[in-house]
Amino acid sequence: MTSRMMEGKVVVVSGAGGGIGRDIALLMARYGARVVVNDIGASLEGTGRDSTPGERVVEEIRAAGGEAVSNTDSVAESGAGERIVEQALDAFGRIDCVVNNAGILRDRFFHKMSDEEWDAVLKVHLYGSFNLSRAAANRFKDQESGTFVHMTSTSGLIGNLAQANYNAAKMGIAGLSKSIALDLGRFKVRSNCIAPFAWSRMVSSIPTDTPEQAARVEKIKQMTPAKIAPLAVYLASDGARDVNGQIFTVRNNEIFLMSQPRPVRSVHQSEGWTPESIAEHGMPALKSSFVPMDRSGDVFSWDPV
């Protein structure tokens, strides 16, 4: 029997019309939350608008006996965050959790990336997370409760090819989450990140030109968006009251706690360093501890379990 650990709570999920966001919204409702389903119904590249995906998720929640409303504001736009939060307050009288999940892709090798491709991805992922979080922050502060769950990515935390815009945005989200956790922790507000592995529109553009690429995609397809939702629900619940400022990865049935940058090794020279002494002594001493030029798939090299 499903518990009601989100009973009485109101959750906003951005990008909830499909994929990971949809499954998070559905499970939040199943565990008792009332949900604002935010989705503009855009293409993977962020073009176009269609209210149907979000409305369909609302219908699913209501059909299962839950409560939900649809919202089609773009989190990338200034003022949208306030409108989304106001809708939650108008519909349900409060807000308890924001899940920043909305995203688009404009993949391109860095030296070929246009200003528009850079801006579009950062606007949705990073600005969108800021806009919605900032709109909820004072409400959370005043009520001395509230949770943020942000979607980052191992593409940003570790690295990936042809995704400078996406990787920069996802690293920015990790920093944003930690700052929120530090700034609002004394008001009993929590902020954590999930780096999800799941088959969705966001990864369906992976090329399958070689047998190796095709095999990799088949493995990713095993990792459904539904595998991400339980951790998001837990982090939003009172059961996670002691979890703050952390980054988790979900990969099928595995949950990882990710490291965050800390000093690895140091060198010291009492008279100070010169460029020559760095070249001769400092850098050779540090070199054995260099972080390798890995991509996400190099680090997570085993089959999902």
Catalytic residue among 31, 127, 166, 234: 166
Residue 281: DSSP 8-state: I
Q: How many whole angstroms separate alpha carbon 46 and alpha carbon 169?
A: 15
Q: Strand, helix or coil at 22?
A: helix
Q: Are 267 and 288 in contact (CB under 8 A)?
A: no
Q: Are 112 and 162 in contact (CB under 8 A)?
A: no
Phi-psi group of 95: left, alpha or beta (phi > 0 → left; psi -120 to 50 → alpha; rest → beta)? beta
Using CB atoms within 10 A of its CB, is residue 180 exposed (0-12), middle (13-18) or buried (19+)?
buried
Long-range interactions of 90-95: CB distance < 8 A, separation 24+: 91/34, 91/36, 92/10, 92/34, 92/36, 92/67, 93/10, 94/10, 94/143, 95/10, 95/12, 95/136, 95/139, 95/140, 95/146
Q: Is 31 noted as a catalytic residue in this protein? A: no
Beta bridge partners of 100: 150
User: Helix 128-143 vs helix 80-92: angle between axes, to the nearest 10 degrees?
Assistant: 40
Q: How many whole angstroms separate alpha carbon 9 and alpha carbon 58?
A: 17
Q: Are 20 and 151 in contact (CB under 8 A)?
A: yes
Q: Measuring CA to CA, how many Å separate 190 from each of 49, 132, 148, 255, 267? A: 32, 15, 6, 19, 36
Angle, alpha carbons 302-303-305 (nearest 5°): 115
Q: What is the bridge-based pairing of β-strands 68-71 and 34-38?
A: parallel
Any idea which residues carry the catalytic annotation?
A: 166
